[in-house]
Chain A
Amino acid sequence: MLQTRTRDAVVYQIGLAIFLTIILLLILIPFWRVIVTAVIPLDIYTHQGVPFFLSPTKWTFEAFKQLLTHSMFPRAALNSVIITVLGAAISLFLTVPLAYGLSTRSMPGRKVIMTFVLIIYLFSPGLIPVYLLITGMKLTNNYLAIILPPAVSVYNTLVMMGFFEGLPEELKESARLDGANELQVLLRIILPLSKPILLTIGLFYAVYFWNEFFTPILYLNDNDLIPLPVLLRNILISASFNEYVEYNAFSSSSLESLKSAGVLITMLPMLMLYPWIQRYFTKGTLVGGVKG
């Protein structure tokens, strides 16, 4: 019997390993192709397309160079950083009080506000009402036009609310007994314990704002304000339509290489950020808090 169970467990483990390996390959192979396409020299690309494997000795970073040395790249990258950092900060600043308030069961009108929040979650207003609101507030050509409309994500609010609800109520009670008001409870007790959720939700917002593409097109007419995704799109369109203009900016890279390099450049900052934040995902310890 024991032997059967052990054998079954081994078979299960092997099957699981094979399945996960297949999943891993399905994810890695396209990613690897993007990398190879980004570093393939133009002469090899035009002669034989994109091979599955390309020796690192033949790699070239010409496509990256073409994108990174573009005259508008530094400004666009800075714009993206500003929008991302400012957006994440403002979003957290607005989401935390909402989530905390909704997690406080004794708050008057909580059910009404929750219903209101869920209605917004279910029904999208569409493009035009938001556009009318933003232009009415004279926010065109302003970073806030990108940041304010999505500043409070209902999904993120609900996730954060769930986290706050999971914190022991005794912590808040003990703080109130010590004379703290609700704001002080939030700032001095709740937030220090909420580093994991703050970083998680902050990262969600940061990824959202970093990848934001359409709202900058809609609200930012000034070329000095466009973020990186918009610039990369413009570059790729330009390279793709070069038969209509006599000027060719990208003679040393293929369009496919430029696209792949653009994908890698855009995802790299977030890829670097994830491991750094991941170590904060472990649950904060509450030792001493409740006992005190």
Chain B
Amino acid sequence: MKKWNFVLIAVLLVMSQVLAACAPAATPTEPAATEPVVVEPTKVPEVEPTKEPVEPTAVPEPTKPPEPIDILLWAQATVTEAGAPPDDWIAYERILEELNINLTYVIIPTGADGEAKLNAVAAANDLPDLFQLVSASGDSRGALKRLVDLGLVAPVDDLMPLMPERVKLHYNDPLAIDLVTFDGKQYGLPEPPPLPRREGFVIRQDWLDKLDLEAPTTPEEILAVAKAFTEQDPDGNGQNDTYGLGGFIVGQGLGNRFDFIMGAYGVPGLWNFNDPGNFGLNVRNPLYPEALAFFKSIVDAKVIDPDWPTLTRDDFRARWKQGLFGIMWEDFAALSNKSNYEPFDTNFPEGEWIPVAAPVGPNFESFYGVYTGRGQIFAISQKAADDGKGEAIARLLEWMATDGYYLLGFGEEGVNFIIDANGNISTEGLDPAQAYTAAERQPFTQMRNQLVFYNSEQEIAARYPTYNTLNGRLMEPMKFLTFFQGQPWVDGRGIQVILPLENAADFDRFYSEGILQFVLGQKELNDTTWAEYLTGLDGVGAADYEASAKQNLIDAGLLK
């Protein structure tokens, strides 16, 4: 009896270890190693020859397959906290009725979590039928290429003719198509980027008025105005609590939020896309240390929020709403959308931000920033293609761009939105709880930013309506957007084909820390120290990086 008890205990122990163990039960299936489907050629029906002319018979319409096709779609949410649409969502019904597709829509997380989830299913060769590429670093194209190299993604060239309207509205950028084409085949479906060139340089008009100043047009004028904002109490509260400039770092070096200053010297961003004949790192340009020296003078004059090197985006946005500074670079919607503007409006009803044109530098150069144009990329899994789902997916995507556009983007007409006499989307006269902007309606339009919207004027006007501020001033977010988009930008979309160095982390760290040390005065900026910096940069692979980047662009046909 004792013996059997020990056996029982040992079995229990082993069973619990099996659960805690993690050796795979089976080896992962090889990706895309399926046998080609052999289709028997249909026999040509025998027709008896007749003497009389035969009337042409009508081509029978293709019959729908008898069983609905199951399509699994993974995409990010437009409003992450709102959740997925309920199971009885009318769109599911309509897709089933009209397309004979049984759609399952799964929302995937953003950033590193979403990337890890996608990588896990890819490793298990279990990618969904249609899915959005997710990358923590924003490099969706790189994520797509990795999956293409593993044979997990199907080419979509044959499907494009099946969705003509969608191609016209969504996949109409030749460069974007090139970027998702590998070895002559298109593997990705590049959705339009969300409102490109949407950030810009803005200044407090009320502060300018109070100090009787004009908006700056050159870097020197920016410095002068910043000094005035810092020293002359522009908010009139009797306290020395304002700065000229505010900002924070996004990206390498000084980041892209100060590119409007670097652009005045012709050196915005990391790469000089604006000089294709002389492609390379902007730091090689003799004007770069000059631009850096000017920025250093802003820091030395203490006219910039001193926390700028370490601020987060949310802290920065809290600060301009607190009236801490009067010159900044900001996203048009983060600045002027009603919900975002409200706290600032409450604090400063007479406050007003205006857009400012790109400053012109000493050599008459002027660039607002670098436009990288990264949009969402979707792909179809090889597994889905092998299961014959490609055509159904194409029909689904075409439906989303045509019959399903309003339903997926706004809801049902007359219930969730109306189209007024001017063709604008509106919610006038509708039950507020049913309006497409209501909290309760957000789960029903979760796909809008990922798969539906293509930046039409009607869409944008609906998403960013005008409103009146507390003092009755008309606020038009679209005016900011139009202004920003009209400024001179460097087309930097080629950055999507540039592969990172193997020691990218070392390069990025050396590059960024070096620039910050100069700007913050931790290292003196002169010809000698700058040459040493460039030598050090070459020591972490800068020259190789330039050579490989140039080759990447040539291979992609973006550089001659």
Q: Tell me, yes or no, whether B486 is within 8 Å of chain A by CB.
A: no
A–B pairs, 24, beta carbons within 8 Å? A46-B318, A46-B322, A47-B347, A49-B322, A100-B9, A108-B10, A113-B13, A113-B17, A120-B17, A128-B28, A128-B120, A131-B124, A133-B22, A135-B124, A151-B19, A182-B6, A217-B109, A217-B117, A221-B106, A243-B337, A246-B464, A247-B79, A249-B81, A251-B342
B414 to chain A, nearest CB (A): 20
* Residues of the B chain whose Cβ atoms lie less than 8 Å from the Cβ of A237: 80-81, 110
Q: Mark A229-241, 1 if CB is under 8 A from B, else 0.
A: 0010111011111
Selected contact of B439 from candidates A136, A181, A235, A247, CB within 8 Å:
A247
A191 near B: Cβ within 8 Å? no
Q: A49-B322, A108-B6, A182-B9 are in contact. Are A238 and B24 (CB under 8 A)?
A: no
How many angstroms from the CA of A47 to the CA of B343 in the assembled complex?
9
Closest Cβ of chain A to B206, distance in Å, is 17
Contacts of B124 in A (CB 8 A): 128, 131-132, 135
Please tell me if the beta carbons of B81 and A234 are within 8 angstroms of each other in the complex.
yes
B177 at interface by CB-CB < 8 Å: no
For chain B, the bracket of interface size reads 35 or more
Q: Report chain B residues within 8 Å CB of A149.
A: 22
Question: Is B420 part of the binding interface, using a Cβ–Cβ cutoff of 8 Å?
Answer: no
B432-462 vs A: 1/0 string, CB under 8 Å?
0000010110100000010000000000001
A8 to B545, CA, bound (A): 65
CB distance from B214 to the nearest CB of A (A): 29
Chain A residue at minimal CB-CB distance from B324: A49
Chain B residues near A151 (CB, 8 Å)?
16, 19-20
Interface, chain A (partner B; CB < 8 A): 42-43, 45-49, 70-72, 94-95, 97-98, 100-102, 104, 107-109, 113, 116-117, 120, 125, 127-133, 135-137, 148-149, 151-152, 154, 181-183, 214, 217-218, 221, 223, 231, 233-235, 237-249, 251, 254-256
Q: A46-B321, A72-B83, A135-B124 are in contact. Are A251 and B339 (CB under 8 A)?
A: yes
If over half of A's interface residues share one DSSP class (helix, strand or loop), that class is named, otherwise mixed; here it is helix
* B contact residues around A239 at 8 Å (CB): 81
Given the interface contacts A129-B24, A132-B26, A223-B107, does A245 sit within 8 Å of B78 by beta carbon?
Answer: yes
What chain B residues lie within 8 Å of A127 (beta carbons)? 116, 120
Chain A residues whose CB sits within 8 angstroms of the CB of B83 once the complex forms: 71-72, 223, 234
B10 touches A97 (CB 8 A): no
Kindly state the separation between the CA atoms of A281 and B392 in the bound complex, as whole angstroms. Answer: 62
- The residues of A that contact B107 with a CB separation of less than 8 Å are 223
| B 456-472 to A, binary, CB cutoff 8 A, 1 in contact else 0 | 00000011110000000
Report the minimum CB–CB distance from B134 to chain A (whole Å). 12
CB of B339 within 8 A of CB of A218, answer no
Contacts of A47 in B (CB 8 A): 322, 347
Shortest Cβ distance from A246 into chain B, in angstroms? 4
* Cβ A101 vs Cβ B318 within 8 A: no
Chain A residue nearest to B113 (CB atoms) is A217
Residue of B nearest to A113 (CB): B13
Q: For A254, list chain B residues within 8 Å (CB).
A: 318, 343
**Measured between alpha carbons, how far is A223 from B106 in the docked complex, in Å?**
8
Q: How far is the CA of A240 from the CA of B22 in the complex (A)?
A: 37
Query: Closest approach, in angstroms, between the C-beta of A68 and any C-beta of chain B?
Result: 13
| Docked complex Cα distance between A183 and B311 (Å) | 60
Which residues from B are CB-within-8-Å of A235? Answer: 80-81
Which residues of A have CB within 8 Å of B117?
Answer: 217-218
B331 at the interface (CB under 8 A from A): yes
- When chains A and B are docked, how far (Å) is the Cα of A109 from the Cα of B11? 11
Residue contact B22 to A125, C-beta cutoff 8 Å: yes
Chain A residues whose C-beta falls within 8 Å of the C-beta of B78 in the assembled complex: 244-245
Q: Which residue of B lies closest to A106 (CB)?
A: B6
B16 touches A181 (CB 8 A): no
Across the interface, do A132 and B24 meet the contact criterion of CB distance under 8 Å? yes
A97 x B16 contact (CB < 8 A): yes
How far in angstroms is the closest Cβ of chain A from B339? 3
Give the CA-CA distance A217 to B80 in the complex, in Å: 13
- Decide: B16 and A152 in contact? CB cutoff 8 A: yes
The residues of B that contact A148 with a CB separation of less than 8 Å are 19
> For residues 5 through 52 of chain B, which have their beta carbon under 8 Å from a beta carbon of chain A?
5-6, 8-10, 12-14, 16-17, 19-26, 28
By the criterion CB–CB under 8 Å, are B19 and A214 in contact? no
- Find chain B residues with CB under 8 A from A241 CB: 80
Given A47-B322, A247-B437, 15 other A-B residues pairs in contact with their CB atoms under 8 A:
A49-B322, A71-B440, A98-B16, A101-B9, A127-B120, A131-B121, A133-B24, A136-B24, A223-B107, A234-B109, A238-B80, A242-B340, A243-B334, A245-B449, A246-B465
Set B17, B77, B333: member contacting A98, Cβ < 8 A: B17
Which parts of B114-137 form the interface with A (CB within 8 Å)? 116-117, 120-121, 123-124, 126
Judge whether B58 is part of the interface by a CB distance below 8 angstroms.
Answer: no
* Of B6, B19, B79, most A-chain CB atoms within 10 Å: B79
From A70, A214, A234, A247, give the contact of B116 (CB < 8 A).
Answer: A214
Q: A249–B80 Cα gap in the complex (Å)?
A: 11
A133 touches B9 (CB 8 A): no
A243 to B464, CA, bound (A): 10
Question: How far does the alpha carbon of A260 sit from the alpha carbon of B126 in the complex, in Å?
Answer: 37
Given A113-B14, A117-B17; A133-B25 close (CB under 8 Å): yes
B84 interface residue (CB < 8 Å to A):
yes
Task: List the A residue with the shortest CB-CB distance to B122.
Answer: A128
Cα of A113 to Cα of B21 in the assembled complex, Å: 12
- B318 and A49 contact, CB distance less than 8 A: yes
Question: B309-341, CB under 8 A of A: which get 1 and which 0?
Answer: 000011000100110000000010110010110
